[in-house]
Structure 1
Amino acid sequence: MVFDSLTSGAVLLYEEWLQQADPRTEEWPLMSSPFPQTVIIVAYIYFVTTLGPRLMENQKPFDLKNAMIVYNFSIVGFSLYMIYEYLMSGWANGYSYRCDLVDYSNNPLAVRMAWTCWLYYFSKFIEMLDTIFFVLRKKTSQVTFLHVFHHSIMPFTWWFGVKFSAGGMGTFHAMLNCCVHVIMYSYYAVCAMGPAYQKYLWWKKYMTIIQLVQFVMVTVHIGQYVFIEDCPWKFPVFLYIIGLYGLIFLVLFLNFWYHAYTKGKRLPKVEQNSKALQNANGAYHANGVAKGAANGISNDKTNGVTNGFYHSNTVHTKEE
């Protein structure tokens, strides 16, 4: 009886809550209910953590060089398109960069902004291929908890964003993230093209700086909400979530920066001996980029990279 009562109460609360949703997005793919995306996310987690590694256990790694080149450049093109749509539907066409509220009307620009938010949401499912490529290439060491958690939580949280707050100041971080993706996935695409193109990747060392700048901009922009006296956002919880994400990953990347660069520069002997250590037991990567796993952000061949707020994608080295 108690269970039935709790279940009925939860159903009523869920139905009442959905009545506050944006009616414009109701008929869009995956938007009628959170359950279809939940099935996809659960299937993704099961494949990359259990089924995939089990199937690949006695198989040779797949050669996905061409597929990865096409995939990465496709993400670059898609990101450029979303940047354009975000600009044209608000950020370069009427938004003040302060208290920009969600326009729930059927105004063409408002609908265009909502649709762009849906495109960004859908892109999170496409980016799950990052992890699937890891599994098929037997790079399971790069399928970390933080990586899988990020790729799982981003589409889940963005469903609520599109369902209830598709527009306004809460979309600034998405547009900025698309800008970062253009840079990051361009890097990955060139990496996938092979050692002959390594000479064009001289800007690798600036990518962590790009991450830090992104998180600072996101945190400062969304933090305005706390100090603006009259900003009647309908669902302010989303702004607080964005702000919290920005702060958390700003701290994580600052920590990475300290361990990989500042602290590293104070230990020149480690730098000098890194190659000897690698030759001795393969335990240390010779390029000196990684100084151990800095809170899961970096390992010997993995650099923390953003995708939404954190992306543990591979920074390919010459050896790969």
Structure 2
Amino acid sequence: MSHCSANHILSNFNDMSIKQISNNFLEELKFDEEIDSWPLMKTPWPILSILAVYWLFVVKVGPKWMEKRKPFNLKYIMMIYNLSQLLFNGYMLWRVYKPDVINSLWKHRCSLDEEDHSEKRFVYITANEIVWLYIMNKISDLLDTVFFVLRKKESHVTFLHLFHHMDMSFSMWIYLRIIKDQFIVLLGSINMIVHMIMYSYYFLASLGPKMQKYLWWKIYLTRLQIAQFVFVIIYLGSLYTVDCSFPKIFTIYMITHIALFLYMFIIFYKKTYQKTKSE
């Protein structure tokens, strides 16, 4: 076989692969007038504007503005914020695990039953309502970084921190705008549990130095976050291997992102806790 023929075959193969992937992706897209009319969902500009303002403030404007100012005392604001985030995640978790919701979600975790239109619509709308609430929660999570800047804790504003917050907000927006499936809600509930524990820790820490002796379990919180990523990757990978009618292109996207989070969290864990042990 000539060199030109081999290149031609390879080129055709690549074209077919790209075309197949594009076709599969287009088949997975879902649009719903009701859901697409919800706040922030019609176009990407609102969420992108929020993330752009967030990035500019925490990276450029905020640190420059605080340069010659004393750190703000945000103790009580942070107590309220952490408690509200704890309750917010608790409310979403309650929505997921209401008996009628969790039973339907589990029944249709792999696909929606076309024969029962009323239950199908109930699962579909309820799941996506929870995802919308989840997006609002990810947006409110951005205040965490704003507080770091106002308290002059710029060392906490790491690439991992910024990437995690911004990526989760926009990825979930993409999911709700063009994917709209029910399978991700059960996975999201795991993240809600982790965040309830995390904001419980932050709330206790915001009470002041007298609480530090009771916060020895911070290392286990980070381990729990890492374990969460491992579980989600395994679960998504198992779904990919079975005959489910869930969006497989988006699932690959999610596995890639979560694997990146896992890698960065492991690096953070090693730098933070192994360094502490060696000192």
Q: Normalised by the shorter chain, which TM-score bucket?
A: 0.7 to 0.9
Structure 1 counterpart of 2:177, from 152, 163, 169? 163
| Contact map agreement 1:98 1:224 (CA 8 A) in 2 | no
Give unpaired runs (5+ residues) of structure 2. 1-25
Counterpart position of 1:78: 88
Displacement of 1:26: 1.6
| Contact map agreement 2:148 2:157 (CA 8 A) in 1 | yes
Counterparts of 1:260 and 1:236 in 2: how far apart (Å)? 35
Counterpart position of 2:104: 94
How do 1:1-320 and structure 2 match up within 5 A? 20-88=30-98, 92-96=102-106, 100-101=110-111, 107-228=121-242, 230-233=243-246, 235-258=247-270, 271=278, 274=279
Over the aligned positions, Cα root-mean-square deviation in angstroms equals 2.8
Counterparts of 2:172 and 2:112 in 1: how far apart (Å)? 15
Displacement of 1:38: 1.1
Counterparts of 1:247 and 1:70 in 2: how far apart (Å)? 33
Displacement of 1:243: 1.4
Matched residue of 2:180: which SS?
coil
Larger fraction in helix: 2
Q: 1:96/1:112 Cα in 2 relative to 1: closer, same or farther (>3 Å)?
A: closer
Displacement of 1:182: 0.5
C-alpha offsets along residues 253-310 of structure 1, whole Å, 9 cap, x if unaligned? 344455556x669xxxx83xx3xxxxxxxxxxxxxxxxxxxxxxxxxxxxxxxxxxxx
Give unpaired runs (5+ residues) of structure 1. 1-15, 275-320
Matched residue of 2:60: which SS?
helix
Q: Which amino acid aligns with 1:125?
A: I
Counterparts of 2:48 and 2:137 in 1: how far apart (Å)? 16
Displacement of 1:54: 1.4
| Contact map agreement 1:216 1:250 (CA 8 A) in 2 | yes
Matched residue of 1:162: which SS?
helix
Q: Which amino acid aligns with 2:249?
A: V
Q: Which amino acid aligns with 1:207?
A: L
Of residues 104-113 and 65-74 in structure 1, the stretch that sits farther from structure 2 once superposed is: 104-113
Q: 1:145/1:205 Cα in 2 relative to 1: closer, same or farther (>3 Å)?
A: closer
TM-score (norm 1): 0.70
TM-score (norm 2): 0.79
Displacement of 1:23: 2.4
Q: 1:242/1:171 Cα in 2 relative to 1: closer, same or farther (>3 Å)?
A: farther
Matched residue of 2:72: which SS?
coil
Matched residue of 1:29: which SS?
coil
| Contact map agreement 1:85 1:113 (CA 8 A) in 2 | no
Counterpart position of 1:291: none
Counterparts of 1:260 and 1:208 in 2: how far apart (Å)? 10
Q: 1:241/1:45 Cα in 2 relative to 1: closer, same or farther (>3 Å)?
A: same
Counterparts of 1:26 and 1:98 in 2: how far apart (Å)? 22
Q: Which amino acid aligns with 2:251?
A: L
Counterparts of 1:168 and 1:252 in 2: how far apart (Å)? 28
Q: Which amino acid aligns with 2:236?
A: I
| Contact map agreement 1:61 1:136 (CA 8 A) in 2 | yes
Counterpart position of 2:8: none
| Contact map agreement 2:104 2:123 (CA 8 A) in 1 | no
